[in-house]
Structure 1
Amino acid sequence: MIKLIASDLDGTLIGHDFHFRKRTLEALSAARDAGVQLVVVTGRPFRWLDGVLGQLPGYDSYAICSNGAVTYHVGKGRVVATRTLAMHTVLEAHQILEREFPTATFTAETVDTVFLQGDVKVEEGGPLENSELVWGNLAEILSPDAQVVKYLVRVEGYDPEDLLPRVAKLVGERVSVTHAVPGDPLIEMAAPGLNKGAVLADFAAERGIEAHEVAAFGDMPNDLEMLQWAGHGYALESGSPSLRQAVARTCPAFDQDGVAQIIEKLLTRTS
């Protein structure tokens, strides 16, 4: 029996317009009515979530954000846990990547501030919206006690599927390394061993829920560990080819209401 549904947001539950599809909303509501818990597990920062999750009637639970670095209680509007990078680790990785990719742009996110180096694009409605932005060289503008939840590098001209292993080879012993945005040569880094799956496993255990009682959905490499841990982990057919190859189960594409289709089937089995 499924007791918990854990899902990525972008490309999984919501589209480029940041809206849920009607069938997805209906399936999530049906799951909640059946007593199944829902937790959103996203690479997005918590500051960006309230407007999106407001589309889910009655959603006042938790969201695991920033690829696991921040746990946010949506109903209370409060950060309840953070898992941060040691400052010396950020600077060591930054020195290596800055030397390897001299034209790259860099970002370091804390709970309340985003530090940017280079010509970082700040898009309306994007993940940097509602953030305090500070520009400069990261080695100079980050304070020694900065609590960095995510460190990012973007290197234009690269295929992200090629850039990911290259960055991992350079700094993978210092930080966890992943990729979350389709077609964007943006690599995301966090504390060693930190990923969506590890944090979701702890979240479930605290509630007495085992892996075989969890259904999880995602579409990008940053969802890998979550989908492999969950007893029912599904990679969307519209997602990353490398993720689909690494995960045992797939579900139909986002435009085909893939997540909703699976939830409907799971609820039918348990009714």
Structure 2
Amino acid sequence: MSIKLIAADMDGTLLDSQKRLPEGLFSLIHTLRERGVRFAPASGRQYYTLYEQFGEIADELVYICENGSVVCDGARMISFEAMPTDEVCRSIELVRALPGVEAIVSARHGGFYETADDPAFLANAAQYSVRRTQVPDLLEFCRHEPVCKVAVYCKGRAEEVLIPAFHAFAETSQLVVSGADWMDLTRPGMNKGMAIAALCKSLHITPDECMAFGDYMNDLELLQAVGESYAMANGHEALKAAAKHICPSNDEDGVCRTIRQVFGIDKA
């Protein structure tokens, strides 16, 4: 096996249930880099959140962010795929009409949201968008600023409430439930798998030289885009059915354990 790129989803995959990175991950990434293998966090999170989270090794990584709408190599942006302005504005208007629903949009310089009184939404937004700004009128902001993703929040009911509510958008946007609380809108066809294609082109490698890990249905295209796909034991059943392999859960350090086993790397 000649793997040159490893991509791993964050929540439910690389991070444990307490949202912690695995012990020894940075050392493992150093070892992989010495062997000519790049590591890519692949997440619905914004670039700035991921870059900050990886601290001292941030510049060594490649990043799949905003469910594939943003791709970076260290501090260099490779791609930013903006949604049509009219589509973004229509989605914000619908959010405003739905009780208990909030939104945060992703632009080049961070996340933006308007006044919200729901502390759970604000806490979730802070977790996924470390660089975020409150604006008085999100609709007006989106008329003038390119947006690559609209993340819509409905606590514990994303699949039940948001998918039916946004059904009409399915023909003009990519709709993905990215967790129990969130649904993301991006440009049609944008997903983590498309980002793998962009990274392969940038790194001059093939999809067969890529390995990926995921747990939820927003990781489906990611796993389909690589030669070696792993679904987490704690993952969605449909994703596990689509993956080539099943690995231990996120609380069992499944990603790092599998990488060490495949590459014959002893734990430091």
Q: TM-score range by the shorter chain?
A: 0.7 to 0.9
Shift of 1:64: 1.8
Separation in structure 1 between the aligned mates of residue 94 and residue 242 of structure 2, nearest angstrom: 29
Cα 1:248–1:108 shift into 2, 3 Å: same
Separation in structure 2 between the aligned mates of residue 240 and residue 116 of structure 1, nearest angstrom: 32
Shift of 1:16: 4.9
Amino acid corresponding to residue 11 of structure 2 in structure 1: D
User: How many residues of Structure 1 are paired with residues of Structure 2 in the alignment?
Assistant: 260
Separation in structure 2 between the aligned mates of residue 86 and residue 103 of structure 1, nearest angstrom: 26
Equivalent residue for 1:233? 229
Conserved? CA contact 2:89–2:142, under 8 Å: no
Correspondences of 1:7-156 after superposition (within 5 Å): 7-54=8-55, 56=57, 59-74=59-74, 77-96=75-94, 101-112=98-109, 113-116=111-114, 118-120=116-118, 121-123=121-123, 126-136=127-137, 138-139=138-139, 141-156=140-155
Shift of 1:91: 2.2
Equivalent residue for 1:198? 194
Conserved? CA contact 1:221–1:242, under 8 Å: yes
Work out whether 1:260 is the aligned partner of 2:260: no
Identity of aligned residues (%): 26
Amino acid corresponding to residue 130 of structure 2 in structure 1: E
Shift of 1:102: 4.2
Give the match's secondary structure for 1:189. strand
Shift of 1:264: 1.8
Separation in structure 1 between the aligned mates of residue 86 and residue 200 of structure 2, nearest angstrom: 32
Shift of 1:126: 1.2
Give the match's secondary structure for 1:230. coil
Conserved? CA contact 1:61–1:73, under 8 Å: yes
Structure 1 spans left out of the alignment, 5+ residues: none
Amino acid corresponding to residue 33 of structure 1 in structure 2: E
Conserved? CA contact 1:28–1:260, under 8 Å: no
Give the match's secondary structure for 1:265. helix
Cα 1:116–1:240 shift into 2, 3 Å: farther
Amino acid corresponding to residue 65 of structure 1 in structure 2: C
Cα 1:109–1:51 shift into 2, 3 Å: closer
Equivalent residue for 2:220? 224
Separation in structure 2 between the aligned mates of residue 194 and residue 219 of structure 1, nearest angstrom: 18
Can you list the C-alpha shifts for 1:103-144, whole angstroms capped at 9, x where unaligned?
A: 4222222122402364452228512333222144x43x3242
Cα 1:122–1:165 shift into 2, 3 Å: closer
Conserved? CA contact 1:13–1:24, under 8 Å: no
Cα 1:201–1:172 shift into 2, 3 Å: same
Conserved? CA contact 1:20–1:55, under 8 Å: no
Structure 2 spans left out of the alignment, 5+ residues: none
